[in-house]
Amino acid sequence: MEEEHHFTNIPYNYPLCLNRQCPKASTCLRQLVEQEVPDSAEYWVVISPKYQAKLKGACPHYRSSQKVQYAKGCMNILDNLPHKQRQLAIIHLIEYFSRRTYYRIRKGERLLSPAEQRDVQKILKQCGATGKQEFDAYVEDYEW
């Protein structure tokens, strides 16, 4: 049975794929979203079919339709660190993300991708945190 997709949070100007002969078309977000574009859509952003025809090997634009686990908020992690470790971790996280982005992440306004979660864990470990640190919450979504 084929999984039914409902793409409601497509990023603005998300490039779509028109290559239905691609071996990964049935699992690629760009192809699946293209198939669901309503007839009322006047303009699309597409990956050039001429460019795709010249591609050799794996497509660099492929995006899996499998949902991934995003982290939301890191207040619990920071609250459980001793003061000196917390201060050091905040400095490194601001250096890594920028001040504004750090505060958005901290409050859960901006989600962390799996790769970013690993980077945050690495920063925390460098600051002396031990064990796996759990984020405030987790949500599943597509990795656009």
In this predicted structure, what is the pLDDT of residue 1? 43
CA-CA distance, 13 to 102, in Å (whole number)? Answer: 25
CA-CA distance, 8 to 14, in Å (whole number)? Answer: 12
Q: Are residues 71 and 122 in the same domain?
A: yes
Question: Domain limits at 86?
Answer: 66-140
Q: Are residues 79 and 56 in the same domain?
A: no
Per-residue pLDDT 10s for the chain (144 aa) are: 445 566 778 888 999 999 998 999 999 999 999 998 888 889 899 999 999 989 888 999 999 999 999 999 999 999 989 999 999 999 999 999 999 999 999 999 999 999 999 999 999 999 988 877 899 999 999 998
In this predicted structure, what is the pLDDT of residue 5? 63
Gyration radius of the chain's alpha carbons: 19
Q: Are residues 41 and 83 in the same domain?
A: no
CA-CA distance, 139 to 108, in Å (whole number)? Answer: 11
Phi first, then psi, for residue 77 (nearest 5°) are -60, -50
CA-CA distance, 4 to 115, in Å (whole number)? Answer: 27
